Structure 1
Amino acid sequence: MPRISDRQRIAQDIRDKIASGVYGPGAKLPSMREMSAHYGVSAEPVRSALLILQAEGLVEGHQGKGVYVTESESTTD
């Protein structure tokens, strides 16, 4: 079984949390530092995971304010 990369593991965990409602529309995600500590990785895999989620339209970054779940997210439809 191939090993999943840290960025893929983090992106999937955040996707799951969005889908389950842990992070609802408009919710602010934890800081890069908090996520790095939570997942036990450097900032780079966290940044990469957030870029993946941003490309998927699940989150949006606001310079100096943080990363938020997009308002249009609808996983129940």
Structure 2
Amino acid sequence: MAESLMKIYETMPATAQKELYDFALFLLSRNENKKSAVQKTSHFGGLKDKISYIAPDFDEPIEDFAEYM
């Protein structure tokens, strides 16, 4: 396949060769972007060891919201 591509490439005018080269670079960069776009998914308990302090009254009602309750 590489040989047939090179034959086609060599028969093209210089401007078309430049376009083909630029397009190949675009395809390579797009492929690299897809690889880096993979995100980690969250999972239950993922922050278990990340929270170091929670106030003792964390679950208590907030006084400022008393009029809305």
TM-score if structure 1 supplies the norm length? 0.25
- Greater helix percent: which structure? 2
- Greater strand percent: which structure? 1
TM-score if structure 2 supplies the norm length? 0.27
